[in-house]
Amino acid sequence: MAEQNLKTLLTLKNLNIWYATERGESKAVNGLDLEILRGEIFGLAGESGCGKSTLITGVMRLTKLPAHVQSGEAIFHASRENGQEQVVDLLKLDPGAMRPYRWRNISYIPQSAMNVLNPVLKVEDQIADVIRAHSSMSKKEAQARIGDCLEMVGLSKKVALMYAHELSGGMKQRVTIAAAIVLKPDLLIADEPTTALDVNVQRVILQELTDIRERLGLTILYVTHDMAVHAQLSDRVGIMYAGGIMEVGKTSDVLSEPLHPYSQALVEAIPDIGGERRRIEGLPGAVPSPLNWPPGCAFHPRCKRMLPICQEKRPDLRELKPGRLVACHLYQ
Ligand code: SF4
């Protein structure tokens, strides 16, 4: 990937997505800034409860009460059929106006993708529904496109005529990927889609996603807490904690030289099968409650390198060197 030539596809600015609860606002996404580049595979990492899935539903405009977008911007550069780009703030669109962007410009593979297939419809009919609703393709063109997409994800064209109960878990997952790419979206968002699969199937599907990105020129936002998956798949990675981004950089750089103390703890926790035997130290404490994030840097109660200012002032996400951003007072 020639990173220096990539243009911005999606910019999230000071995004806040909160849940209204009886005990107050639960700030699942809390002042988050992020930029996704066209053509890259961007990995979003972070432990459970850090706000990853809430972030995705917010960008897709799928948040449901009590979740609500409190503030922020999601500036998206959508491709149009005439080859032009249309710049739109996704968060300003009403639900009806968002519809034309779904599947055509942004598609989504949810966490429970293996369970989203309709048991009484053939694969072809389910994917054809998407095509009919969002494009003017003829029936014949749609059938050909569905067959091509099934082959792209490593399945035979014959799978188009099968029902969900005739497919293995890995095949169902591939069908959901085929449906997500059938209209060649600008951005494919994948939320832990291989978590329920065995590691061999997972490895093959990750390779297929990489191949699909090359072939269709897609941008992929891949969300998982699994750093080993990011190491295999992602060009760049963003480390999320307490509803915000702590560090962004090329995946190889972040894994070989993590700068933020939280990223350092995550990377230290990756077992090294070939290396010396060592005890893996877990992070002390637990992820704090989004109802009451700690003041200043939200990581400070668990940070071994805390400075006095860390309890008072939230650090900005700043670029230390080209492409490397860190939100930590140690570098400011
Ligand atoms: Fe640790 Fe302070 Fe950096 Fe937060 S800002 S990670 S508390 S050193």
Name the DSSP letter for residue 167. Answer: S
pLDDT in tens, 207-235: 889 999 999 989 999 999 888 889 989 99
Model confidence band, residue 182 (pLDDT cutoffs 50, 70, 90):
very high
Å from CA of 299 to ligand 1 middle: 6
Tell whether ligand 1 has an atom less than 6 A from the beta carbon of residue 328. Answer: yes
pTM over 0.75: yes
Question: What is the residue with the minimal CA distance to atom 5 of ligand 1?
Answer: 328
More confident residue, 272 or 301: 301
Whether the per-residue pLDDT at 2 is higher than 80: the answer is: no
User: 8-331 belongs to which homologous superfamily?
Assistant: P-loop containing nucleotide triphosphate hydrolases (3.40.50.300)
Tell whether ligand 1 has an atom less than 6 A from the beta carbon of residue 318. Answer: no
Domain coordinates in residue numbering, the chain? 8-331
Whether the per-residue pLDDT at 113 is higher than 70: the answer is: no
Tell whether ligand 1 has an atom less than 6 A from the beta carbon of residue 101. Answer: no
Provide CB contacts within 8 A for 248, sequence distance 6+: 34, 236, 237, 238, 239, 254, 317, 323, 324, 325
| Mean pLDDT along residues 125-130 | 94
Lowest mean pLDDT: which of 21-35, 45-59, 163-177, 268-282? 268-282
Max Cα distance, the chain (Å): 66
Q: Which residues pair with 244 in a beta bridge?
A: 241
Lowest mean pLDDT: which of 265-274, 276-285, 304-313? 276-285
Å from CA of 327 to ligand 1 middle: 8
